[in-house]
Copies of this chain bind each other. A is one copy, B any other.
Amino acid sequence: MFSNSSKYAIKAVLYLAIHSSESKKIRVKNISEPINVPQAYIAKLLQELSRHRIVSSTRGPNGGFFLSDANMKTLLIEIVNVIDGEDRLNSCLLSLHNCNSEKPCPLHDFARPFRTNFIESLEQNTIEDLARDVKRGKSFLPL
């Protein structure tokens, strides 16, 4: 479904959503441990996310990563698209490329309802929404 990298990215951004703010930056060392991802790996992913303005960062002493108010509105699909590319979630289950709902492949109907639904969830929900669920005890960490 997601690549490993996307899972890591989501975990990292969610961690920042819950624990960081403009006035409380977190450095990569202190992100990697609680989300259980190798430091050098998550550093690279955060840099990529930063380039796409999905997370914010400042360098130097007391620098680190954080989510701005705007960052909190990031849709989950944006994170996945940046890391995995736009095709991964949409491609045919059997990788047939000229298939669609008019000419569905033999597995199309097994998965379509779910997939549509799932992708819509990713398109409609923000990081802020996920963080809120956690705060309300609707979903759980640790990551």
**CB within 8 Å of B: which residues of A?**
1-2, 4, 7, 10-11, 14, 93-96, 99, 103-111, 113-115, 117-118, 121-122, 125, 130, 133-134, 139-143
- A105 and B7 within 8 A (CB): no
Residues of B within 8 A of A133 (CB): 106
Q: Chain B contacts of A4 at CB under 8 A? A: 95
* Residues on B with beta carbons closer than 8 Å to the beta carbon of A104: 139-140
Q: Is A139 a contact partner of B108 (Cβ separation < 8 A)?
A: yes
A4, closest chain B residue (CB): B95
Given the interface contacts A10-B107, A111-B118, A121-B110, does A93 sit within 8 Å of B1 by beta carbon? yes
List residues of chain B with CB within 8 A of the CB of A10. Answer: 94, 107
Contact A111 B1 (CB under 8 A): yes
State which of B93, B103, B106 has its C-beta within 8 Å of the C-beta of A14. Answer: B106
Contact B94 A110 (CB under 8 A): no
- The answer to whether A7 and B95 have CB atoms under 8 Å apart is yes
Chain B contacts for A1, CB-based, 8 A: 1, 93, 111
Residue of B nearest to A117 (CB): B114
A117 to B117, CA, bound (A): 12
- Nearest B residue to A88 via CB reads B1
A125 to B133 Cα, complex, angstroms = 36
Q: Which listed residue (B2, B7, B103, B118) contacts A140, Cβ 8 A?
A: B103
